[in-house]
Amino acid sequence: MKENISLLLPQRSFHHHRRAILFIICFVLGSKTVASFTQLASELQKKILKMILESFGLEKYMDELIDSTNYQLRVMKYEKPKPSDSTHALAAHCDTNTMTLLYQNEVNGLQIQSKDGEWINMKPSPNSFIVLIGESLSVWLNGRLPSPSHRVMMKGNEDRYSLGLFTRPRGGYVIKVPNELVDDNNPILFKPHDHEEFLKFYYFEIAQAAVKPWGYISRLNAYCSV
């Protein structure tokens, strides 16, 4: 499998659209293909994380971050829209996890919002992954890498399938901005927090209908900002 890495950076926005992921499979136990895909993709995720840590001189945190990570594989299907229609299949959002690796069949649909608010169509070449920085990594890096807002729009007459490897911090691990990223010019922006506690709060808010799960951008930033 060829490894093409595109790191996609930022934008914030606020859109409410209907989520139309038709099925989600977490782990299909016993499936060799799924297990080996997850293995490959998680190795790739580690390489990317290492590159990011090295670029900030934070390599010493590699083991700690890897040891406190959970991996989840999701298979997503987006049905083709009705003829001559174009549908918001997945509303704009930022991922709250650490990092997302996306792999798709040859049907495009993912859009990333640029800094100036423009939606850019992603056209990954076959055998390449799209890498999204999640809010959790963005917070840990004291905002050095922003988490991009993204959505899925369906056009044409083919269904789209995507595979996502979602890495997130384990419950009980306290996410704390490294001292190396804080100085007089770079004040600390986020309070230490446990990702699981954040998720409890987030899902409680959703249950209370205080926020829309797929329409609310930068939830984690708001939760733990100083």
Ligand X SMILES: O=C(O)CCC(=O)C(=O)O
- The residues binding Fe ion (CB under 5 A) are 95
Closest distance to ligand X from the beta carbon of 188 (Å): 28
DSSP run (H or E) holding 55: helix 32-55
Query: 134 contacts which partner out of ligand X, Fe ion, none, CB within 5 to 8 A by kind?
Result: none
Nearer to ligand X, 17 or 150 (CB): 150
Closest distance to ligand X from the beta carbon of 154 (Å): 10
Q: How far is CA 139 from CA 29, 37, 70, 105, 151, in A?
A: 33, 28, 17, 31, 21
Task: Answer yes or no whether residue 135 interacts with ligand X by CB under 6 A.
Answer: no
Taking the C-alpha atoms of residue 99 and residue 133, their distance in angstroms, rounded to an integer, is: 5
Q: Are 189 and 220 in contact, with CB atoms under 8 Å apart? A: no
Closest distance to Fe ion from the beta carbon of 2 (Å): 23
Q: Is the dihedral of CA 134, 43, 71, 79 positive or negative?
A: positive
Residue from 152, 175, 189, 220 touching ligand X (CB under 6 A): that is 152
Closest distance to ligand X from the beta carbon of 44 (Å): 16
Nearer to ligand X, 110 or 177 (CB): 110
Task: Answer yes or no whether residue 150 interacts with ligand X by CB under 6 A.
Answer: yes
Nearer to ligand X, 95 or 135 (CB): 95
Here the contacts of 120-123 (C-beta below 8 Å, separation 24 or greater) are: 122/8
Reading the block at residue 87, the tokens are 């549908």
Task: Answer yes or no whether residue 110 interacts with ligand X by CB under 6 A.
Answer: yes
Nearer to Fe ion, 95 or 135 (CB): 95
Nearer to ligand X, 52 or 112 (CB): 112
Within 13 Å of residue 22, how many CA atoms lie on the same side as its CB?
9
Q: How many CB atoms lie within 10 A of CB 186?
A: 13
Task: Answer yes or no whether residue 102 interacts with ligand X by CB under 6 A.
Answer: yes
Reading the block at residue 4, the tokens are 């093409």
Query: 220 contacts which partner out of Fe ion, ligand X, none, CB within 5 to 8 A by kind?
Result: none
Return the residues of window 58-87 that contact ligand X according to CB under 6 A.
Answer: 76
